[in-house]
Amino acid sequence: MFRAELYNPDQWADLFVRSGAKYIVPTSKHHDGFCMWPSKEANRDWGRPWNAVSIGPKRDLLGELATAVRKRGLKFGLYYSLYEWFNPLWLTNRHEYVVKHMQPQFKDVVTRYRPSLIFADGEWDLTSAQWGSEKLLAWLFDDSPCKDDVVVDDRWGNDTRHRHGTYYTTEYGAGMKDASHPWEEDRGMGYSYGYNRAESIDDYKTGRELVLVLCDLVSRGGNFLLDIGPRADGFIPVIMQQRLIEIGDWLKVNGEAIYGTRCARRSCQWSKGKRPGQKYGEFMVKYNLMQQIGQRAKNGVAVKQLFFTRKPDALYAITTGWLAPEITIHNIRLPEGARVTMLGLKGTLKTDISGNDVVIHVPCLMPNQLPCHYCYAFKLPGATLLPE
């Protein structure tokens, strides 16, 4: 039933460019062990054709996408599941599975496609020593064809999450609290990483929420790996395409406040009121950003008014909606004569300084004059946030 007859990697790559993504992480194989490239280990150890070149699409789906995205200047990564639910070797002799199946298969996919990023997963049943992760990663960083470029996540054994890895991962949660170690939040647009035909429009996050989640994560030093679930025919559902385009349209205007930025002294500005608690962690941590944003406290509970990011020469303040006629940023030092601007809008904005507060006067605009939708970024050259 899996034919991928509508799979067009060039169309996919064009969509990813329009979305503003900088790196792509397709699934090379998931926990079912079915491979999207011509893996001889898959066919041999399952005792039947078990990759997309031998059966079904009869195409190297992974390799075609690698070529397409690289032609457009994007970084190519891959997701790889260490374990396989029903692999005969896994069910009978896990050590033999690791040594004869997983490790040579991993080296094969890395050698073929030279990923810049590897998202390992399915590690939780064994320790890193049982997986042989130390030796495997030593090969990756010392001898593999991508050794000078590759980064890896923290999923290499049930003793490695948030302890080892180039970057840490969280999943369907709030990400991490700060930038003490590089990290990435991973989630789908709905409730599933795969295509779920039973999900309705209400199960999908809106474009506005996805953009705001991006801003919130980046303000705390994180990256955002947003999943799409193609259909079995290889077509990306239009609602998913639309969400990607909405994010990309926003980034065309405001990408300066996202790409290449770092954490400012604090990630956001809170309104008055009691600040709500927020837990951080690996998986399914409750996180409802839309309840946490606004301009005035909600029933006495503080909300996030602004997100902050920075570059060496500027601070960026990103609103959680359209604010007029003025925005007040508290506990900030702005150099005299600094030319404050709104990304996507020509001209310098009038500002007033009152103690440690800066008031930005926002022009009155008609809806069709707005440079983008959802939220708006202001650039403050030389500005520094002060401790609260």
Query: What single-letter amino acid sits at 48?
Result: R
241 Cβ contact list (under 8 Å, min separation 6): 15
Give the Cα separation of 104 and 328 in Å (integer).
58
Walk me through the domains of the chain, giving residue ranges and CATH numbers: 9-257 (3.20.20.80)
pLDDT, tens digit, 9 for 90 and up, residues 163-182: 999 999 999 999 999 999 99
pLDDT at residue 323 greater than cutoff 90: no
Do 269 and 380 contact (CB within 8 A), yes or no? Answer: no
Give 367's contacts (C-beta < 8 A, 6+ positions apart): none
CB contact at 8 A, 79 and 62: no
Q: What's the mean pLDDT in 125-143?
A: 98
* pLDDT given for residue 27 in this prediction: 98
Spatial distance between the Cα atoms of 144 and 103, rounded to a whole number of angstroms = 13
Mean pLDDT computed over 264-269: 96
CA distance 218 to 224: 8
How far is residue 186's CA from residue 175's CA, in Å, rounded to a whole number?
Answer: 8
- Is the pLDDT at 44 greater than 90? The verdict is yes
Crossing angle of helices 103-113 and 61-71, rounded to 10°: 40
* Whole-number Cα distances in Å, 324 to 320, 321, 333: 12, 10, 22
Could you tell me the pTM of the whole model? 0.97
Q: What is the pLDDT of residue 55?
A: 98
Q: How would residue 125 be classed by pLDDT, with cut points 50, 70 and 90?
A: very high
From the list 382, 303, 304, 312, the residue with the least C-alpha distance to 341 is 382
Distance in angstroms (rounded) separating the CA atoms of residues 123 and 113: 22
